[in-house]
Structure 1
Amino acid sequence: MPTTETSQKIPLLPLRGALVFPGMVLHLDVGRDKSVRAIEQVMEDDQRILLASQIDLAVEEPVKKDLYQTGTLAYVKQMLKMPNGTTRILVEGMQRATIKEVTSSEEYYEVNIQPLSSEKDNQPKTTALKRMVKDHFEQYAKASSKISDETIQAVDEIDNPGYFADTIATHLPLKIERKQEILEAIDIENRLQTLLDILTNEKEVLDLEQKIGQRVKKSMERTQKEYYLREQMKAIQHELGDKEGKGGEVETLRTQIEEANMPENVEQKAHKELTRYERVPAASAESSVIRTYLDWLVALPWHKKTTDHLDIDHAENVLDEDHYGLEKVKERVLEHLAVQQLTQSLQGPIICLTGPPGVGKTSLAKSVARALNREFVRISLGGVRDDAEIRGHRRTYVGALPGKIIQGMNKAGVMNPVFLLDEVDKMASGFRGDPSSALLEVLDPEQNDTFGDHYVEEPYDLSNVMFITTANNASAIPAPLLDRMETISIAGYTEIEKTAIATNYLLPKQLERHGLSKANLQMKDDALVKVIRYYTREAGVRNLERQLANICRKAAKTIVTGEKKKIVVTLNTLEDMLGKPRMRYGQMEENDQVGAATGLAYTTAGGDTLSIEVSLAKGKGELTLTGHLGDVMKESARAAFSYIRTSVGELGIDEQFHENTDIHIHVPEGATPKDGPSAGITIAIALISALTGRLVKKEVGMTGEITLRGRVLPIGGVKEKAMSAHRAGLKTILLPKDNEKDLEDIPESIRNDLFISLVSHLDEVMQYALGGRHDESE
């Protein structure tokens, strides 16, 4: 790269959105403090400064990486303080220079630069490039009409090729990045070639702009002509009494309104809007708004209903055909049918199906609709945070629409569908409103016969709709909304139930989906049980269905490749298809432990076992709780600790343990949040075991909250917890005495395998859970 001088230290002026070429004279407004101080400094010295453009205009305090490394060494000819606080300078570009390093940036930016210069090049190729650039520039100037003839003449008189290229680049409306390419082109031949490429591209863009402009002009002229002709046609039609065009639309709408069998108040509203629509010009935006509103009123089912199939035997057969188990839900639907058959009128009940994912809540709602011979509509409320999604937008908004309820009724086409509100526990409040509050009117049988949608504006009768809602976690549903629904819990399936579901429902469905049959693929019962135990851990059957689909895919590949024509899945071949087991069947400890107790927990994914560990160390009596515990579990731990302190004599524990022993309570799997009131007695047993040295029986699981006096309080999720204990291989579970009423919810097969003891005080828990001392057992 040619240079003229050694490196120099000189002040720097960073430019935002501007670039100065050598030989260019222009005014610059300077506002940044460091930049103003740099100008003041150069005016006291030799008035020379380096001008370099910023890469990112938003950077207020640029460093070296924020600047283009090639700039222009300029001479500050004049400085003037402006009334608005900025400083205006007149600069003249002198020559290119490159930044070697930034030596200072405290008072102002100071840099070491290396001036650059281009050797004069009068080679024939340079001359030819210069002429081509000149021709293209003249063509561009004529096409753009933004460059004066004087400028073209001035450029034509420049002999120096480098200065010629820089002058043309100054007059082109280019982005800083493109101008910087020209500035960094030190070699004159490269500079001219770059400029020629840019001019060629800019000229093509200008030609394209002109073609588009002419096309738009013709289109506007044609549109105006069509509008004028249409208005003439309307006038002629009006004089002739012709009902085509908007007049015909009005008559069609009037007929549709009369045939829609609307309530009287709604019909009056529709006719009033129709009169407005007739008077509003067709080109008006309001015309389309009114037309859309009338279309919605006409399309809504105001009186149309389907006839319910009230045969209880038929309904029972349909429900049993689609779902295995779920006796409570089926019984509730059959009760509804029986009452409706006797009374011939019944407001639609609101049923809330709660339970873990994959237990069949949504598909059960579809079966209910099929059993009743009703239309089925489903909307998902997961993530909805705008109450307008439920009640609709007012017609003052652009693009207003009815809410999801009215849209669902329009989709159903009848007044009495089965309407599924899916994931009702996953709605969220936002700045746009609270959708759960908007649902209160929808799900209240005493109010929903006059449901008000903001868009429809007239009351709509929802009392004939059978609403069914689903939720994974009933506690996440707001209390006023939950009060309007009858909650039916679907806890999950036992291993026996999963086996039956897989055999009768899931496997046949997957065989059909994968183009297989029982003649191609057979699965032994013991292999199916192994899939349930060692490849899935869930309350529902969704993951089980995925594993069966995986087996079908492997079988399909084997059959297509010709390796085998028939595949039988056995215990020996299962691992070849699904890999090594992913789960441990049974989480029971291998030996009795000191300071480790097994609790039973309830989660939104079903029941699970929970190991609680306690360790002791000499210290000052600090109590440490770890394992991502929620506030409720922390309070349970402190309550258990307080009970033990007040009962040290009865328990045979050192009275000073809380002063000289540090206690650490830990619940493994710390990445999983854990909270709830059911771990009190488990924490207490683990603490007592650690402090007394007594072993906790490995086959015992327990759940219940504890008071400061040692009483055991009731908990929820008894069925889920019992199923998790059975799955973990526990033999005995301890439940609060007050939960005796919930024992009938536990499947009989599980009750027969478990010894269930009901306890009311921690003393009873210790009798079942604690064995001898560790040293005695040895």
Structure 2
Amino acid sequence: MKDNERVIPLLPLRGILVYPTMVLHLDVGREKSIQALENAAIDDNIVFLVMQKDVNIDEPHKDDLYPIGTLAKVKQMLKLPNNTVRVLVEGLHRAEIQELLEEEDVTNAAVRILEDEEAGDLEEKALMRSLLEQFDEYIKLSKKISNEVFATVADIDEPGRLADLISSHLPLKTKEKQEILAITNIKERLQTLIALIQDEQELLNLEKKIGQRVKRSMERTQREYFLREQMKAIQKELGDKEGKGGEVEELRDKIENSGMPNETKQAALRELDRYEKLPVSSAESGVIRNYIDWLLSLPWTEATEDILDIERAEGILDEDHFGLEKVKERVLEYLAVQQLTRSLKGPILCLVGPPGVGKTSLARSIARSLNRNFVRISLGGVRDESEIRGHRRTYVGAMPGRIIQGMKKAKTINPVFLLDEIDKMSSDFRGDPSAALLEVLDPEQNHNFSDHYIEEPYNLSKVMFIATANTLSSIPGPLLDRMEVISIAGYTELEKVHIASDHLLPKQVQEHGLSKGKLQVREDALLDIIRYYTREAGVRTLERQLATVCRKAAKILVTEDRKRIVVTEKSVVEFLGKKRFRYGEAEHQDQVGVATGLAYTAAGGDTLAIEVSLYPGKGKLILTGKLGDVMKESAQAAFSYIRSRAAELHIDPDFHEKNDIHIHVPEGAVPKDGPSAGITMATALISALTGRPVSREVGMTGEITLRGRVLPIGGLKEKSLSAHRAGLKKVIIPADNEKDLDDIPESVKENLTFVPVSHLDEVLKHALVGVKQ
């Protein structure tokens, strides 16, 4: 064995490195390591300290150890209670492992001692000086190493020892420290250490910059916090007892979590920043706060899930309403398409019919069948565009329009939204509300509806809009074009009996504190109430009459101590008084110059007795009964037709020169107009001129041309129901309206005979009876 080679007990280290001349305490716990210390104590207290590459290995072999380590002298050894040994070691020389000699209880290492390669020239001294300067700057930057350490290091003249001592104080990785330990060339060691210190200095400079940046940010935050606290104190002094701080933060959280579109959210946050800076006493502060509250109260993402069960929906609609098949069918079609696509835009339906037929309650039932929230706004009398679109936010009392207000009440983005009485809107100098509704009811536009108050686009495309109207004539064409019109004509007697017994009577009985056992209204009594105490297309008056019956019954039960009341056909008069209407023939007998016409009004169908009177004169045509222009023109056309066909009709050709003709439509205070009284006026005129009576059982509707052609009309179903109510037997209709007979209930067809005609001659055949009187 050479002089610089020795066999020494091996002490492997975990994550710790000992340089030559370095004194360090070590805690030793592995059995082989303790045995190595004991063997060293027997000899000369010299051990070989070398680092493990992996700290988790308990019994390292040669490949698990770094090749370069340190020979060290054990200066002190102390056994601790937990079977570990604390030793004080002093590094002596660098050494390289040549071979490991494994024994049963200890590992020895054959090592070769490595000597430092010193040059002793000026370059080496220059490197030493440079290293000290770099170390000094590092100490100033890090402030983790005391100045006393630098003073100790600065007194060292040996370059190798200087490098080892400085590297022991630097926070280097164990791999970098091992790299310095393995360098025996002093110049190279100094250069490597200088490079490492420079790297550490760069890191410290970066940390310092980052620290300063963080500090500035913290200072800015602290400054803002301080200013906010000052603002709170000022606001408190001005009268805002609690300040806006907590309120603003709460509003900010609500805006962030509201689900608004990003553009709307940014607008809300901008307004919130303005609100925060304004004093509470400012009028604008209240306006902004009100605006933010409106934005937060609107539903942006909340929606109810449609229950797409067609049988369930059909059951609900049938349970709430008797008849109305067309509307129910349309709702079920919508459900079926939704079930297939799940992406259908909300339809826009318009239920048109006379008052009391259940348009509003039907919309409520549709909402229940779809499992949607229901909201209703009434448009009757609305004449200001801002009622629909809202007011500009330029004054304290500004408010959103009724559409946005309705969405707030609905609390979801897909409610059933009822626009009640859409035909009752009007317009004035403040704008046209029906024009403002065009955007609301257009599926291509309402996904970004713009309210003047909200100012941000709002999505209405998932809303199911249902409008109601008594008549279509007053609805502007562009608005009507956006809606799917479903006509509800009214109810037949049979349907009214069902509605009264199944819906209206149980409701009134409950509202008046009665029970089924205490009050019973028989079907013949209901039929009498419908025939003689109501004359309407709907059932509103019928409900009021049933309420009257319930009140009278309640009084009798309380005062006379009766247990049960049965209302029969004979006892109806006791509850409701004398009969108000005639049921049966429109006239008691066939009359000359009187023809029964069928009219369509906002209250449904009705019958009109048109009367014609002749008296000596000079051919003057007098029209009374508050007739509109269309009816006046119909009378003129009928008059002209009769003059042109006087010979064929067996009328004196000079009748217009000898007589004045007076045409009157009774109930003169009620305005009447429409293109369906032509043939009725002509028939009444011809009857008066020929002396032939008109059949009391015949009703008629149709317009007439100067050549006697009969033109089609509208509202045939409503007119047929009125003829049925009036007890007529035969209805003369234009031939072009024959296709509309499919809409008429079977119960009406059974009692009425419909006669399609295309010329007035056919009308006269069916209407005039008997001979000239």
TM-score normalized by the length of structure 2: 0.69
Question: Structure 1 residues 587, 606: closer, same or farther in 2, change over 3 A?
Answer: farther
User: Equivalent residues in 2 for 1:123-522 (5 A)?
Assistant: 234-235=232-233, 245-522=243-520
> Does the residue aligned with 1:771 lie in a helix, a strand or coil?
coil
Give the equivalent residue in structure 2 for 1:79. none
Give the equivalent residue in structure 2 for 1:664. 662
Note the C-alpha offset of 1:231: 11
Q: Is the 8 A contact 1:599 1:612 kept in 2?
A: yes
> Does the residue aligned with 1:505 lie in a helix, a strand or coil?
helix
Whole-angstrom distance in 2 between the partners of 1:432 and 1:231? 47
> Does the residue aligned with 2:473 lie in a helix, a strand or coil?
helix
Q: Is the 8 A contact 2:471 2:602 kept in 1?
A: yes
1:531 pairs, out of 512, 529, 532, with: 529
1:732 pairs, out of 725, 730, 733, with: 730
Note the C-alpha offset of 1:711: 0.4
Note the C-alpha offset of 1:291: 1.0
Note the C-alpha offset of 1:284: 1.2
1:601 pairs, out of 596, 599, 608, with: 599
Whole-angstrom distance in 1 between the partners of 2:263 and 2:561? 73
Give the equivalent residue in structure 1 for 2:46. none
Whole-angstrom distance in 2 between the partners of 1:355 and 1:236? 63
Give the equivalent residue in structure 2 for 1:752. 750
Provide, for residues 269-321 of structure 1, a one-character-per-residue CA deviation record: whole Å limited to 9, x for no partner. 11111111122222211111111111111121111111001100010000001
Whole-angstrom distance in 1 between the partners of 2:319 and 2:340? 26
Give the equivalent residue in structure 2 for 1:154. none
Question: Structure 1 residues 703, 237: closer, same or farther in 2, change over 3 A?
Answer: closer
Give the equivalent residue in structure 1 for 2:617. 619
Long gaps (5+) in structure 2: 1-227
Q: Is the 8 A contact 1:706 1:712 kept in 2?
A: yes
Give the equivalent residue in structure 2 for 1:24. none
Give the equivalent residue in structure 2 for 1:197. none
> Does the residue aligned with 1:608 lie in a helix, a strand or coil?
strand
Q: Is the 8 A contact 2:585 2:696 kept in 1?
A: no
Provide, for residues 330-361 of structure 1, a one-character-per-residue CA deviation record: whole Å limited to 9, x for no partner. 00000000011101111110000011111000
> Does the residue aligned with 2:388 lie in a helix, a strand or coil?
helix
Which AA in structure 1 matches 2:407? M
Whole-angstrom distance in 1 between the partners of 2:259 and 2:753? 64
Which AA in structure 2 matches 1:592? D
Q: Is the 8 A contact 2:376 2:406 kept in 1?
A: yes
Whole-angstrom distance in 2 between the partners of 1:234 and 1:404? 37
Note the C-alpha offset of 1:233: 8.2
> Does the residue aligned with 1:593 lie in a helix, a strand or coil?
coil
Give the equivalent residue in structure 2 for 1:647. 645
Provide, for residues 495-552 of structure 1, a one-character-per-residue CA deviation record: whole Å limited to 9, x for no partner. 0000000011111111111111121111111111100000111111111111111111
Q: Is the 8 A contact 2:590 2:696 kept in 1?
A: yes
CA RMSD between the two structures: 1.8
Whole-angstrom distance in 1 between the partners of 2:331 and 2:574? 44
Give the equivalent residue in structure 2 for 1:585. 583
Which AA in structure 2 matches 1:391? R
Whole-angstrom distance in 1 between the partners of 2:665 and 2:492? 26
Provide, for residues 671-704 of structure 1, a one-character-per-residue CA deviation record: whole Å limited to 9, x for no partner. 2211111100000011111111122111111000
Give the equivalent residue in structure 1 for 2:684. 686
Provide, for residues 57-88 of structure 1, a one-character-per-residue CA deviation record: whole Å limited to 9, x for no partner. xxxxxxxxxxxxxxxxxxxxxxxxxxxxxxxx
Q: Is the 8 A contact 2:593 2:613 kept in 1?
A: yes
Instruction: Find out whether 1:545 has 2:543 as its counterpart.
Output: yes
> Does the residue aligned with 2:570 lie in a helix, a strand or coil?
helix
The alignment covers a number of residue pairs equal to 544
Question: Structure 1 residues 283, 599: closer, same or farther in 2, change over 3 A?
Answer: same
Q: Is the 8 A contact 1:594 1:774 kept in 2?
A: no
Query: Considering only CA atoms, is the larger Rg found in Structure 1 or Structure 2?
Result: 2
Whole-angstrom distance in 2 between the partners of 1:593 and 1:234? 91
User: Equivalent residues in 2 for 1:9-28 (5 A)?
Assistant: none
Give the equivalent residue in structure 2 for 1:63. none
> Does the residue aligned with 2:466 lie in a helix, a strand or coil?
strand
Whole-angstrom distance in 2 between the partners of 1:760 and 1:281? 79
Whole-angstrom distance in 2 between the partners of 1:592 and 1:539? 27
Note the C-alpha offset of 1:572: 2.0
Whole-angstrom distance in 2 between the partners of 1:690 and 1:234? 92
Q: Is the 8 A contact 1:595 1:688 kept in 2?
A: yes
Q: Is the 8 A contact 1:592 1:696 kept in 2?
A: yes
Q: Is the 8 A contact 1:703 1:734 kept in 2?
A: yes
Give the equivalent residue in structure 1 for 2:212. none
Give the equivalent residue in structure 2 for 1:43. none
> Does the residue aligned with 1:641 lie in a helix, a strand or coil?
helix
Q: Is the 8 A contact 2:236 2:243 kept in 1?
A: no
Note the C-alpha offset of 1:740: 1.0
Whole-angstrom distance in 1 between the partners of 2:669 and 2:295? 53
Give the equivalent residue in structure 1 for 2:763. 765
Whole-angstrom distance in 2 between the partners of 1:342 and 1:391? 35
Give the equivalent residue in structure 1 for 2:635. 637
Give the equivalent residue in structure 2 for 1:742. 740
Provide, for residues 410-431 of structure 1, a one-character-per-residue CA deviation record: whole Å limited to 9, x for no partner. 1111100000010100011012
Which AA in structure 2 matches 1:318? I
Q: Is the 8 A contact 2:407 2:413 kept in 1?
A: yes
Whole-angstrom distance in 1 between the partners of 2:582 and 2:634? 29
Note the C-alpha offset of 1:372: 0.4
Whole-angstrom distance in 2 between the partners of 1:276 and 1:572? 76
> Does the residue aligned with 1:651 lie in a helix, a strand or coil?
coil
Which AA in structure 2 matches 1:288? G
Provide, for residues 582-608 of structure 1, a one-character-per-residue CA deviation record: whole Å limited to 9, x for no partner. 111124222221111111111111111
Question: Structure 1 residues 251, 713: closer, same or farther in 2, change over 3 A?
Answer: same
Question: Structure 1 residues 642, 281: closer, same or farther in 2, change over 3 A?
Answer: same
Which AA in structure 2 matches 1:374? R
